[in-house]
Chain A
Amino acid sequence: MSEWETVIGLEIHAQLATRSKIFSGSATAYGAPPNTQADLVDLGYPGVLPVLNGEAVRMVVKLGLAIDARIAPLSVFARKNYFYPDLPKGYQISQYELPVVARGTLEIVLEDGTVKRIGITRAHLEEDAGKSLHEGLPGVTGIDLNRAGTPLVEIVSEPDMRSAKEAVAYMKKMHTLVRYLEICDGNMQEGSFRCDANVSVRPRGAQKFGTRAEIKNLNSFRFVERAINFEVARQVELLESGRAVVQETRLYDPDKGETRSMRSKEEANDYRYFPDPDLLPLKVDAALIESVRATLPELPDQKAARFASQYGLSAYDAGVLTASRELAAYYEEAVRAAPEDPKLAANWVMGDLAAALNKEGLEVGAAKISAPRLGELLRRMHDGTISGKIAKEVFELMWSQGSSADAVIAAQGLRQITDSDAIARVIDEVMAKNPAQLADYRAGKDKLFGFFVGQVMKATGGKANPAQLNELLRKKLPG
């Protein structure tokens, strides 16, 4: 065990899935031609004023309720002042001293199965900035303000994580949660869900935190893990060689797999935060909280607990199946179609289905086998029409042809042979063809049992009912 302990806190930025921006009526859709979704408010024109989007407030309250946090009856929007070309007003409207959500928790499951509570310091509303464009614009910088004013919730954790793996588990859990709540599409490639990681190390057992570095703008789980691991190694190396860690902001370069300094504490901006006089304090009353509470879905932890008890699944399986609302819904629909064996359904959803989706880079919603059809396949296994082995073949054909299980079984003649006489006839033929092996088996080479199973399966195209085959072989082989 290393003598250094890693301490990590994450600031997650999740883009809220509102139709319009947080302080203007412009659309928030991704990918529009530059500057076509920016009105005068987003452009920071002289005289314009911000008006808060009530939907964004409902969404952040929803998050607050889901992480069991305190919802502030009164919170304040503040201006964070700095100059940058893609920041039209010269300040970002955010929340500073009085955030709308404070003191929440989120539970993660560690590798050894133990549950760890991660504290959430605060979550607040803010607007996103625009984008500076350099590609294809030699000598100039382009500004696209489509993203300016997009509503974000910034979720700040306590420094409760002790490894990159824990940080990733926390980020994944939050990613699951915001999608369950339907407050964020979770699209990391488009930047809808990203984080800054505060990383420090300290001698194991020390009370005081080490000096931290903040790694900005990590937009994939893999980058979070790699950037933190690199940063921890860098800091440990510094400390072990008697040098000090400098408080600074760092950037992760995914191509080189390293972090590098962006600006030191001394160079940090003085943001001159002060309450935005254009916006009244945000009031969230009990009626609003209750009306939002009424819209809360079954949360990931609740759903996982229910899956475990209702379907007899392990905690691990229940966790995997509830990682997204869509996957959980798919599983439950498949189980409704084949209620006899929920465990079998779980294995298939997490196994063959997940593999097929992965291979083609598809989300579960785009699966080429619908949940009821997967249920039908499971039922054909359960009722003995096909074996598990054949089922894999059927699954592949269902996936590639878009057909139902029964159609594939009929078309390919894959129906299992359950007629004992038929199986016995094949066994007799196999025994007749392989006298040497038969003699060896009878002389005590028990391992050859599998050889005979294989030969019969080969002769039947894998369709012989495995249980019946085993039973008949045990009777016939000894002679």
Chain B
Amino acid sequence: MARSMLIITRHSPWSGTSAREALDVVLAGGAFELPLGLLFLDDGVFQLISPQHPSSIQQKDLTANLQALSLFGIDELYASNRSLAERGIAADSLSLPVKIMQDDELTALIKRYDHVITI
């Protein structure tokens, strides 16, 4: 049986290559139809804001790549309720259908996966 992996992304979309390279890990695993989960934590939840205008800083649109997740069959998407609330982000304004979880649910979530990586 394939081993599952949870990728925790905790960088904002335009602070460098971290967010993009975390997403690339997820999409690469999706291409092999691996059981993957993606959790948006801390500044990672800023990736979920829509719309964003990265062309003004000459960046490629990461949010467009996020929309590719469903094409790769990755539908285990989660976000931290605390991270969203701390940053004043409304749960109904997000660009992806993420399950919003409390801290204790996140603790349990991590244990459902064989491998975990926090990028």
Question: Do the two shown chains form a genuine complex with each other?
Answer: no
Residues of B that sit less than 8 Å from A by CB: none
